[in-house]
Structure 1
Amino acid sequence: MGLIGKLICQTSIKSDGDVFHEIFGSKPHHVHTMASDIQGCDLHEGEFGKVGSVITWKYTIDGKAKVTKDRVEAIDEEDKSVTFKVIEGDLLRLSFKIFVITVHVDTSGEDNFVTWSLDYEKVDESVKDPTDYLDLVLRITKDIEAHHLSK
């Protein structure tokens, strides 16, 4: 078992893929109004929708309140992807040296797909792979989809 890992999951969505990308690319502070696992998203530095901005997320995982501070590393409008690098918070305190989250929306064709990638480096071999975070991002995706389909 290695200390460096990558987990990827993909799910189809019926809601508009461009809107989904826009939420994470320029309006992440709206996610908490659509996803029950997210309690807040605050701008700490910079501007929403800009690379280099720092965002603080408040979320619940496994019934526990958590906080993470992320820097927006990349926003690719053509590829419809957004990359966040965790720079502070619960993920880095005990478990991971590096944690990077990328969300990509594929809108080619009739179906829309959301792909989440988690790239990480564990502090040691005793740390389990962050599969609970894959479950979290899938729940967030489905919550956002349900929110948009209910309109």
Structure 2
Amino acid sequence: MAKNTIKLVKPQSPSSDDGEAFVSTELWNVIAYHLRVAQETSFQAFKRRVGNADLKPGRYAILSIIAEHPGLTATDLSRACGRDKSTLTPALKDLSQRGFVVRERSSTDERSYIINLTPAGKKLLQKLRVHAHAHDQQLNRIVGQENRAEFVATLRRIVDVLSDEDD
């Protein structure tokens, strides 16, 4: 098994040293647990594909959203990414320090900043798109092309319903 990969096995399975992770009986059928593990595993596979641990899938999402909506604010970007501003801010700071995005004061609201890609950010995004497309194709093979639309719709429904609930 590849480094940093896991294989989930039922709690009653015998122990093993080959990267298997034994899930508690309580978590074995819990959707939220498997969503989280699947997300993390997918992110690790994306980072391996890109070959640069600093270029996480979240960075690709941020760059993609900025490219499609130049001049958006950090608040708008955090909503689009599904991340709160406290976790988005360090990512933006990193992308800014690396010369991929630029943050400028808004001409209409002095309290906020607008975000745009730099030429280097656009170039990086082109490179990451190739990797993201290949990664998505791998996920298509796992989910099955015939199940893709339903699977994505289910994930969107989870976001929609849980986003609307009161905390």
TM bin (shorter chain): 0.3 to 0.5
Which has the larger share of strand?
1
Which structure has the larger Rg?
2
Q: Give the alignment's TM-score, normalised by structure 1.
A: 0.33
Which has the larger share of helix?
2
Q: Using CA pairs below 8 Å that are at least 6 residues apart, which structure has the higher relative contact order? A: 1
